[in-house]
Structure 1
């Protein structure tokens, strides 16, 4: 693939987690989270983006979100469970995306707030239609995702170079 072809990044926040008396990293999804993860998976499948790579935090809630959502996809992308996503700053998440091999065109990152929302806002130099307004109005609730596009190598991904193409969040 040429670096001149648009790349897509989907920044997917894990679905609603439960609050049992366990370490934060081990918190599972709540029942609503399991439902919302499946709906988000169908929405992502309907987008017809052929993901080459999924980067998923190692936390229980992100792994469960991904397992449920990807079940809706026509084809499962290569998945890398990445410890560095958990509690990552926006800069750390962008640095991680900068490491993506250039043969990957479309990447999905399953992570946590506030990092996922901040990365979407930082990367988006522009937005199509009302996507930016919807993201600003709704915030980034559990199971929300933003679809961004940029042209260039993954190493060239930096603040403001992407266009926010779409934003989706479950109804509350």
Structure 2
């Protein structure tokens, strides 16, 4: 793949989690989260993106979100479960994405707030249509995702270089 072709990154927040008596890292999805994760997977499929790579936090709720969402995609991308996504700041997420091999054209990152929302805000130097207004108006609720487009290599990913092309969140 040529670095001249725009790359896509989808920032996907895990679905709604339950609050049982377990550590935060081990919190599972709530019933609503299981339903929303599958719906989000169908909406991801509707984007038409053929993800080359999925980077997923090791937290239980992100792994469960991905397991339910990926079944809705036309093909399963290579998945890497990455400890560094859990509790990561936007800067730490950018550093992780800078390590992505250039043969990965479209990447999905499944993580947590406030990092995912912060990263979407920081990367989006521009936006198409009303995507920024929809994202700003809704915040970044559980199971929401933002689709960003960028030119250049993953090593060149930095604040303001991407365009927010779409945003989706489940209805309340």
Identify the TM-score tier after normalising by the shorter chain. Answer: over 0.9
SS in structure 2 opposite 1:73? coil
Q: Secondary structure at the match of 2:8?
A: strand
Q: What is the TM-score of this pair, normalised by structure 1?
A: 1.00
Output one character per residue of 1:63-98: Cα deviation in whole Å (capped at 9) or x when no partner. 000000000011000000000000001100000000
Q: Which residue of 2 aligns with 1:163?
A: 163
1:14 is aligned to 14
Q: State the TM-score, normalized to the length of structure 2.
A: 1.00
Separation (CA, whole Å) in 2 of partners of 1:154 and 1:16: 30
1:124 maps to which residue?
124
> CA RMSD for the aligned pairs?
0.3
Matched residue count: 172
Match of 2:74 in 1: 74
SS in 2 for 1:9: strand
3-state SS of the aligned residue for 1:91? helix
Distance 2:43 2:66 in 1: 13
Superposed structure 1 runs of 4+ greater than 4 Å apart: none
User: What are the ranges of 5 or more consecutive residues in structure 2 without an aligned counterpart?
Assistant: none
CA–CA distance in 1 between the matches of 2:145 and 2:165?
Answer: 11
Say whether residues 1:149 and 2:166 are aligned partners. Answer: no
1:148 alignment partner, SS class: strand
Partner of 2:31: 31
Q: Name the counterpart of 2:100.
A: 100
Q: Separation in 1 of the partners of 2:154 and 2:27?
A: 32
Aligned to 1:59: 59
